[in-house]
Amino acid sequence: MQHLPSYEIIRQRLLAAGLSGTQLTAALSAIHDSVDPDDQRIVITGMGVAAPLGVGVEPFWQQLLAGKSGAGPMTLYDMGDAAVRIAAQVPDFDPRNYMDAKEARRISRASQLAVAAAREAIADAGIEVTDDNRHRIGAMIADGSSSAIDTEQAVETIVTRGCAKVNPFYITLSLPNMPSCQVSIQLGLTGYNTTIATACAASTQSIGEAANVLLRGDADIILAGGSEAPIARLSLASFGAARALSMRNDDPQGASRPFDVDRDGFVIGEGAGVLVMERLSHAKRRGARIIAELIGYGTTSDAYHVTSPHPEGLGAARAMQMAIERAGITPQQVDHINAHATSTHVGDIVETQAIKRVFGDYAYNIPITATKSMIGHLTAAAGAVEAVTTILTLRDQIIPPTINLHNPDPLCDLDYVPLVARKATVNVALSNSFGFGGINAVIALRRWEG
């Protein structure tokens, strides 16, 4: 992934400064010779996951490959009279395994999940945070709807007990930047810190933008990803009113069915995914184990509608094209796509159209998987967890299945790896994320062969 300013921009600036001929050639040659190519490459050296199907990368991965579903009846909270009573919850999660019990009570579930995933990721990367390096390690953890359950409980407290009884920590636990801040606080990271909140595209954008932070030298290491805990009556009622959620309360494990003709909406989920990202030159200096390389990133806006994608998939297609071009590859070099694939009627059709627009007839040769068929839709965290899934696909050369795909929609006629995982040669893969408001984000990842 090459960072701007490009050599063409530098050349134009030198021309504007009056250099020409041999002076220009000598200046450009000197710049080229002084640039370490490894400074322009971004690699992933650690990963962490706290999501439906399990806490921890390897348990999560084995469940995915087995085609298990993380959806089930709601157990976290009382759902009252909510019409939708199913969700994809993180099983057996105890935040006290990752932080002080008192601290855990004062932060949101989204922050708790983020810290759990971040701790696994930084340990996986073999990084010890010290006084010498903490100021060069940053966090970019995306968040979306912030803390719906805490907002719901605060409002209920005001109505039933009065304003004086509201949790004094409500503001600091519900702000959307808190998962990123809590990762920095709990791990002692004093470097770059920010939050992207672009709905379902947020954590994919965090990964792409983290690469730019690293390339411009603002940090040596970034923990990038996303966290979301949207399960609450408020979220379920709103998504349900918008007819976005599956109503299969009697069949939660079969409810998320991307590309299937009988799909009726997504299953809301919670979780977190975190990648440790650094420049290749830095990873080499510290002797890191490299898992994969981020080679491209594209992001666009449909500017069309707050919930519906562009009907021809124009923005999604441009984001894929940008990622491919930035990676310096051809469409025919893409071996796999981890689709956004929410299991909504319009979304799955439009994504299929967008893939065909980018790849033409070659689209029929690309194995595509829908991780959300197994873990539901983690909204702002979805892209990060799906990036982890894509990297594991590159690592192990096996593609997880799209479960519940028994009756493919005739308008969704590509190879979606139905029902059973598939061994395959995967050197380059895309991971797609498309969010409310028309935000599209795509990353291109390459297998690391070292």
Is residue 200 annotated as a catalytic residue, yes or no? yes
| Residue of 282, 310, 336, 377 marked catalytic | 377
Q: Which contacts (CB < 8 Å, 24+ apart) does range 396-400 have?
A: 396/61, 397/423, 397/424, 397/425, 397/426, 398/65, 398/422, 398/423, 398/424, 399/336, 399/367, 399/369, 399/423, 399/424, 399/426, 400/64, 400/65, 400/67, 400/369, 400/371, 400/374
| Residue of 181, 282, 340, 412 marked catalytic | 340
Is residue 3 annotated as a catalytic residue, yes or no? no
Query: Can you tell me which residue has the tokens 């439906």?
Result: 52
Strand residue runs (E) in 171-285: 193-194, 221-228, 271-279
Task: Indicate the SS3 state at residue 420.
Answer: coil
Phi, psi (rounded to 5 degrees) for 352: -60, -45
| Residue of 181, 200, 282, 310 marked catalytic | 200
Q: Which residues contact 94 (CB under 8 A, 6 or more apart)?
A: none
- Rounded to 5°, the CA angle 295-298-301 comes to 170
Alpha-carbon distance of 260 to 407, in angstroms, equals: 5
- Nearest-Å Rg of the Cα atoms of the chain is 22
Query: Can you tell me which residue has the tokens 């990368």?
Result: 57
Among 269, 312, 260, 273, smallest CA distance to 47 is for 273
The residues assigned a catalytic role are 200, 340, 377
